[in-house]
Amino acid sequence: MLGRAKMKFSRRHIHRMALGAGALPFITATAWGQNYPTHPIRLIVGFPAGSGPDIVGRIVAQAAGEKLGQSVVVENRPGAGSNLATADVAHAPPDGYMLMLLTTANVINATLYQNLSYDLLRDIVPVASIDNEPFVFEVTPSFPAKTLPEFIAYAKANPGKVTMASAGVGSAPHIFGEMFQRMAGVQLTHVPFRGNPLPDVISGQVDFFIGPVQSALEFVRSGKLRALAMTTTTRFSGLPDVPVVAEFVPGYEASGWLGIGAPKGTPADVVDRLNKAVNETLVDPAVKARLNSLGDTVAPMTSADFGLLMKSDVEKWAKVIQSANIKLEQ
């Protein structure tokens, strides 16, 4: 009896030890998430200092750092349309201390580039949406069309003669313009630039450009550019008299956006902590006002909803890239 009792005790003891050991990873991860962050976080930006994404990234990094109780340090790693920065984050330890400033370029690049060392939707965890960035159809003031319907009519009457500037093959302005051509039934001549095309649009060297409202606002208000339409589904408060493309081309929508991602495997409670900090930052009146002054509209979301946006846009722009047969020069 004594031997059997001892045997039962030993089995119970072993069973309890096994249950306790199984719970350890959960307890450890939970404790880690509760303590996070314990040191500064790096936010990798795949564009140069002073660029639009960099400015937004720094505004959010500073304010979110205050919510988290640790500084969020912006590091610029430009190159290959932000692919170099994205690869660095995709292959980083999933501990929540290296994050990525995601942009519309990332969802375009997922199809545009054939040999990426990462898969955006598989290797980057959506953390938080930051804002939406409207783009604007803008022409040189000497262009004969003063409205978007007039522009479409002129382009149809002069196929291939209207020149469309972009920030390079596969850039958002190029992709947005290709979708417009197909949906509006017009043929434009693409003129890719390595740098900023606005000076050549203002001077009339190129007719037309679809660019971020952030960079166009001053020129539109001063009369150096004429705004024909916004790419968003609703009008932009900074240019309330400018209609949206969808009023004349039903179904057209081509917004830019910014958000934050982390390496695959980042603990869910760390993602939740970051998401909460960013969303709290975006409802801060001072932060909201600063982003609005740039032409951006804050867009707080759950990490799950941001992931759905990323997936939807990868699919959306893949169709445009494939139908237009857009390929990068090798």
Residue 104's Cβ-count burial label (10 Å; 0-12, 13-18, 19+) is buried
Q: Domain for residue 178, yes or no?
A: yes
The tens-digit pLDDT sequence of the chain (330 residues) is 444 444 444 444 444 444 444 444 444 444 545 689 999 999 999 999 999 999 999 999 999 999 999 999 999 999 888 999 999 999 999 999 999 999 999 999 999 998 999 999 999 999 999 999 999 999 999 999 999 999 999 999 999 999 999 999 999 999 999 999 999 999 999 999 988 899 999 999 999 999 999 889 999 999 999 999 999 999 998 899 999 999 999 999 998 999 999 999 999 999 999 999 999 999 999 999 999 998 899 999 999 999 999 999 999 999 999 999 998 865
Domain count, the chain: 2
Q: Residue 15 falls within a domain, yes or no?
A: no
The residue whose two tokens read 């039903």 is 250
Domain boundary among 186, 215, 247: 247
pLDDT of 33 reads 55
303 and 318 belong to one structural domain = yes
Flag whether 4 is in a domain: no
On whether residue 83 sits in a domain, the answer given is: yes
Does 280 share its domain with 242?
no
Q: Give the max Cα distance, the chain.
A: 103
Mark whether 139 and 243 lie in a shared domain.
yes
- Strand 189-192 and strand 163-166: the pairing is parallel
Do 228 and 160 reside in the same domain of the chain? yes
User: Same structural domain for residues 154 and 237?
Assistant: yes
Q: Does residue 53 have a cis bond before it (omega within 30 degrees)?
A: no
Of 190, 221, 247, the residue that ends a domain is 247
> What amino acid is encoded at 150 in this protein?
E
Q: Is residue 14 part of a domain?
A: no
Q: How far apart are CA 68 and CA 35, in angstroms?
A: 11
Residues 160, 117, single domain; the answer is no
- Rg for the chain (alpha carbons), in Å? 24
Task: Assess whether 68 and 217 both reside in one domain.
Answer: no
Instruction: Indicate whether 91 and 126 sit together in one domain.
Output: yes
Q: Which of 193, 226, 247 is the last residue of a domain?
A: 247
Same domain, 95 and 193: no
What is the model's pTM? 0.86
CATH number at residue 162: 3.40.190.10
Say yes or no: 182 and 141 in one domain. yes
Residue 18 lies in a domain: no
CB distance 198 to 213 below 8 Å: no
Q: What is the Cα–Cα distance from 39 to 227, expressed in whole angstroms? A: 46
8 assigned to some structural domain? no
What is residue 194's predicted lDDT score, i.e. its pLDDT? 86
3-state secondary structure the chain: CHHHHHHHHHHHHHHHHHHHHHHHHHHHHHHHHHHCCCCCEEEEECCCCCCHHHHHHHHHHHHHHHHHCCCEEEEECCCHHHHHHHHHHHCCCCCCCEEEEEEHHHHHHHHHCCCCCCCHHHHEEEEEEEEEECEEEEECCCCCCCCHHHHHHHHHHCCCCCEEEECCCCCHHHHHHHHHHHHHCCCCEEEECCCCCHHHHHHCCCCEEEEEHHHHHHHHHHCCCEEEEECCCCCCCCCCCCCEHHHCCCCCCCCEEEEEEEECCCCHHHHHHHHHHHHHHHCCHHHHHHHHHCCCEECCCCHHHHHHHHHHHHHHHHHHHHHCCCCCCC
pLDDT at 15: 47
Taking Cα atoms as reference points, which of 126, 49, 43, 58 lies closest to residue 88?
Answer: 43
> What is the rounded distance in angstroms from the CA atom of residue 127 to the CA atom of residue 306?
7
Identify whether 20 is part of a domain.
no
Taking the C-alpha atoms of residue 20 and residue 105, their distance in angstroms, rounded to an integer, is: 46
What CATH number is attached to the domain comprising 306? Answer: 3.40.190.150
Residue 3: what pLDDT?
Answer: 45
Domain of 125? 40-133+255-323
Same domain, 153 and 193: yes
Shared-domain flag, residues 78 and 171: no
